[in-house]
Amino acid sequence: MAAASKRVVIVGAGVNGLVAACLLARQGHRPLVLERSDALGGVAVTREFSPGFRASMVAPTAGPLLESVAAEMQLEGVEWLESPARAILHEADGPSLTLWADEEECAAEIGKISPPDAPRYLETRKSLEAMSGFFTALLEAIPPAMDDLSSRELLRSARLGLRLRSLGRRNMLRALRWLPMPAADLASEWFENEALRTAIAARGVFAARLGPRSPGTAGRVLFQTGPWGDPFAPVVVPRGGMGALAAALGRAARAAGAEVRTAVEVSRILVTGGRVSGVELSGGERIDALAVVSSADPARTLTRLVDPAHLAPSVLARIRHYRIQGSVAIVHLALNALPRFIGVEQNGSPSPALSGRILIADSVDSIERAFDEAKYGKLSGQPFLEATIPTILDPSLAPPGRHVLTAWLQYAPYDLREGNWEALREDVLRAALRLLETRAPGISSLVAGSRVLTPADLEREFALTGGHVFHGDLAMDQMFSLRPIFGFGRYLGPVPGLYFCGSGTHPGIGVTGASGRNAARAILADLRRENSQA
């Protein structure tokens, strides 16, 4: 097949793969998307887990989708639902605290239990709003190559530096100091109240194999909250669950000229003459390609799809040390009624306070202790939990009057020192119910059905190596230009014609679509350079 007739093949129809496909198609590259599952979306998929009850199986909410991504994708048919609450949490043996999206309402609520923290919250929000332009630019940036001192890469770095300088001296110094801090220290600097500190610390370690006192976890907080100018990120879902977003992205990609095939698994990425030449499917079919873009995680891509013989020893060493062991288990509950949470008035209808995140953790120290156990391959005896009840915003996910609750239990290390995840499945369910009972007594009696996803399930069912939902820890040495590994942080792989676009690339956190959009820009620029040099 002549090079001019070859297609760009995208491995995986997750959110980032579909975003990249749409944007590449609009530039005339006719991408072919190949998805191993029978449904689009990757981790953004909605499935029935108990008769009549549906849930977003892995990603419970959107990132939210970046405004720039939504605008470029021209999505149709997505009805976004946003909670008026960011989170609800309890102090240990104390009152519940609802963190509202409205800043004045949130400050007033905070002032009820911690008067000094109300003005602190408003000051923090003001700082983050001033920084939002910088963090948005950071999320949307193609990271500069740290091993390339060309004028192009220096200019890329200079642009980000100018955006940082534009914050003004005070906020610039704050951003530079906050980014590498532990989330626990950031939380202590922002607030006096332990419940507020716990909420910040939990954001910093969400779905990570890190503790709140691990360096760089404050940066994870800022990446998640900075673009929206709020220390507590918005809770946004599409009606119909996250699968509705995936379906809309699929329609947009096809309308732009992409072909999307499901229930086809790529078994190998082919390399000929030192360059990617196509893919081979599990059934033996071969498809020639001008370029292959992997939205699979980088470990799977470079150790299972590409023959290691085509990779330099230094690349193999780096990817083998890439930290991609997951730390969460997910529990879906089908409930016969809405549970009653301590301190939450419902008055016959679901409280809006319960439509955001429900955080169950006693303190920053309790999260750190839970992490300590996970470091040694043990399911935490006192884990912490973050839950959502999506049926408050979207009743279509359950029969009338009934509800779905999705809980993320942390820490649940992929690589157990003793036993296996099949044997511990019921332990995960019991741990989730035990924690929920402390805030919603009697919830266990409402359970009509359940589904537990252990880290092993996440790997097997969703092709997430190590069961890591973000394709690898977002730690200081695995972020920005170092994501996934040094030398390949700009979406270009170690073999010519191979590219990355999944969550294992910058920025990599949440369902924002940023990795797919950034990757498409980098791929288009690289293909234009190749054509000009041909």
The whole-angstrom distance between residue 52's C-alpha and the CA centroid of its chain comes to 27
Q: Distance between CA atoms of 45 and 98, rounded to whole angstroms?
A: 29
Which pLDDT does position 94 carry in this prediction? 63
- What's the predicted TM-score (pTM) here? 0.94
E-strand ranges in 168-311 read 236-238, 259-261, 266-272, 275-281, 286-294
Instruction: Answer for the pair 393, 405: CB distance below 8 angstroms, yes or no.
Output: no
Whether omega for the bond prior to residue 411 falls within 30 degrees of 0, making it cis, is: yes
Instruction: Answer for the pair 278, 32: CB distance below 8 angstroms, yes or no.
Output: no
Residue position matching structure tokens 């009653």? 340
Torsions phi, psi for 11 (to 5 deg) = -90, 110
Q: Distance between CA atoms of 86 and 68, rounded to whole angstroms?
A: 23
Which pLDDT does position 92 carry in this prediction? 60
Homologous superfamily of domain range 3-36+264-322+470-533 = FAD/NAD(P)-binding domain (3.50.50.60)
The tokens for 104 are 């004045």
Q: Distance between CA atoms of 317 and 330, rounded to whole angstroms?
A: 31
Q: How far is CA 357 from CA 11, 46, 84, 372, in A?
A: 32, 19, 11, 24
Radius of gyration of the chain (CA): 23
Which pLDDT does position 91 carry in this prediction? 63
**47-65+82-101+234-239+325-467 CATH fold:** Polyamine Oxidase; Chain A, domain 2 (3.90.660)
Which residues of the chain are in CATH 3.50.50.60 domains? 3-36+264-322+470-533
Q: What is the pLDDT along the chain (534 residues), one digit of tens a residue?
A: 334 457 899 999 999 999 999 999 999 999 999 999 999 999 999 999 999 999 999 999 988 888 889 888 888 889 999 999 999 987 666 678 999 999 999 999 999 999 999 999 999 999 999 999 899 999 999 998 877 767 677 777 788 888 888 889 999 999 999 999 999 999 999 999 999 999 999 999 999 999 999 999 999 999 888 788 888 889 999 999 999 999 999 999 999 999 999 999 999 999 999 999 999 999 999 999 999 999 999 999 999 999 999 999 999 999 999 999 999 999 999 999 999 998 887 777 889 999 999 999 999 999 999 999 999 999 999 999 999 999 999 999 999 999 999 999 999 999 999 999 999 999 999 999 999 999 999 999 999 999 999 999 999 999 999 999 999 999 989 999 999 999 899 999 999 999 999 999 999 888 999 999 999 999 999 998 887 776
Which residues of the chain are in CATH 3.90.660 domains? 47-65+82-101+234-239+325-467
Torsions phi, psi for 70 (to 5 deg) = -60, -40
Q: Distance between CA atoms of 311 and 256, rounded to whole angstroms?
A: 34
Whether omega for the bond prior to residue 64 falls within 30 degrees of 0, making it cis, is: yes
Q: Is 479 exposed, middle or buried (0-12, 13-18, 19+ CB in 10 A)?
A: buried
Which pLDDT does position 1 carry in this prediction? 37
Instruction: Answer for the pair 15, 246: CB distance below 8 angstroms, yes or no.
Output: yes
Per DSSP, the residues of 255-284 read HHT-EEE-S--EEEEEEETTEEEEEEETTS
Q: 417 Cβ partners below 8 Å, 6+ apart? A: 376, 377, 378
Q: Is 258 exposed, middle or buried (0-12, 13-18, 19+ CB in 10 A)?
A: buried
Closest CA relative to residue 367, chosen from 183, 117, 100, 93: 183
